[in-house]
Amino acid sequence: MDRLEANRDYDCFCGNGIASEFVAGYILEKYNLGRTDMSPFKVAIVSDRQVSGYYYNSFENQFILRNIKPGLIMCEATENAKSLKSVGDIVADLTEMNLGSNDWIIAFGGGGVIDCASFAQSLYAGSAGLILVPTTLASMAESSIAGTALLNSGKYKDAAVSKVRPEAVFVDPSFLKTVPSKYRNNGYAPIIRLAVLMDITLMTSLADEGKDFREFLNRIYAARTKIERKNPELLNLGSEIAHAIEGYFRFMNYSDGQALALSLYSCMPEEGRAALGSIYAGLGLPTKLEGVAKSMIMKSLDSILDRKGEGPYNVVDYDDGKWAIKSLSKEEALQLFSGRLDLIC
């Protein structure tokens, strides 16, 4: 088990098999209780049907061996289920289990599970500790170190936000073997955004990330840290059109990764777009938005800007050979988005 260089104030570990071997031991070590008995503690594991179907028995076993039976809380992992209702259901289950400040909530799944479980932990009055065990590339690369949990509402993306601070993150690359292919490429877009903004070599490493996954994640985290120190708003590159696409389809037709990939493609300067298109072809990412007219996405963008207030609006754009934050009026922002949509519609 290796420690990741995530530049966060909590532990991030990486290694094949660590999720089913070291999470219970980590909790015991937090209280200097050795590695034999967890009976003084309660543990709630929040997961989805697919992940729990594959892995719950082996994950649970480390707690059974230490004299504790965890409670399993089921949570849908889809974007349209990532809502306050789902969080409310989790809080109700935590309350029923009577978790307290010495107890633990473990988010065991992809980004949707991590967001809902983390949001619930931030609201729950019992002050239980939080451990994240991501099972998808997107949740390993982004959700686990984001520092916030985001929820959707109806057609609106990221309508609710809460700050979160886990005690630890356990990244186990072996989980990636069972991620369905249609969800596998969902994790590529956030990494492509980091590559475009800070470290283009990440782009060429996507196809072979499994060769040294720890080193790959460290490079991802290093790129994110540099961007955060430079200007965290740069991490919003492509968000507006991506959110408009997801919201229009009510999170059904395009995954968040596919929507972001389309938006990033539209943001690229002409000289980089062809190369990015070739990379997308190899990764199974779309370059054309289908099933909707440009005018409908523009209407969604207009609504998104209205929700942010009267403006001006900060938008990330490529200007004079670099990515920069532009302060734009509503008319200027919509004109910029219209030009981008022309490239993908």
Q: Dump pLDDT digits (tens) for 235-276.
A: 999 999 999 999 999 999 999 999 999 999 999 999 899 999
pLDDT band at 29 (very low <50, low <70, confident <90, very high): confident
- Residue 105, pLDDT above cutoff 90: yes
* pLDDT for 37: 61
Looking at the structure, do residues 274 and 192 belong to the same domain, yes or no?
A: yes
Q: Are residues 13 and 116 in the same domain?
A: yes
Q: How far apart are CA 162 and CA 150, in angstroms?
A: 7
DSSP conformational letter for 194: H
Note whether 233 and 339 are same-domain residues.
yes
With a cut of 90, say whether residue 2 has pLDDT above it: no
Residues 13 and 132 in one domain: yes
Q: For residues 33 and 16, what is the distance between their CA atoms, to the nearest angstrom? A: 25
Sign of CA dihedral 33, 37, 42, 43: positive
> Do residue 173 and residue 196 come from a single domain?
no
Residue 205: beta bridge partners?
A: none
Residues 193 and 175 in one domain: no
- Within 10 A of 56 (CB to CB), how many other CB atoms are there? 16
Place 296 in a pLDDT band, splitting at 50, 70 and 90: very high
Residue 53: what pLDDT?
94
pLDDT for residue 1:
72
Q: Are residues 217 and 304 in the same domain?
A: yes
- Based on the fold, state whether residues 166 and 193 are members of the same structural domain: no
- What's the pLDDT tens digit per position in 268-291? 999 899 999 999 999 999 999 999
Out of 64-78, 196-210, 324-338, pick the least confident.
196-210
- What pLDDT, on a 0 to 100 scale, did the predictor assign at position 211? 72
Confidence (pTM): 0.93
CA-to-CA distance for 140 and 187, rounded, in angstroms? 9
pLDDT, mean over the chain: 93
Cβ(101)–Cβ(128) under 8 Å?
A: yes
pLDDT at 38: 63
Q: Which residues pair with residue 42 across a beta bridge?
A: none
Q: Is residue 34's pLDDT more than 90?
A: no
pLDDT at 16: 93
**Domain range enclosing 146:** 2-179
Q: What is the mean pLDDT of residues 298-311?
A: 94
One domain, residues 151 and 266: no
Of 76, 65, 166, 172, residue with least CA distance to 119:
166
Q: Which has more pLDDT, 295 or 41?
A: 295
Q: At what angle do helices 294-307 and 330-344 cross, to 10 degrees?
A: 150
Which one of 161, 179, 197 terminates a domain?
Answer: 179
Average pLDDT of the residues in 126-152:
94
- Residue 22 maps to which CATH number? 3.40.50.1970
pLDDT per residue as tens digits for the range 201-233 = 998 888 666 578 999 999 999 999 999 999 999
Number of structural domains found in the chain: 2
Same domain, 170 and 107: yes
| 107 & 246 share domain | no
Please report the pLDDT score of residue 336 as a whole number.
98
Residues β-bridged to residue 104: 43, 129
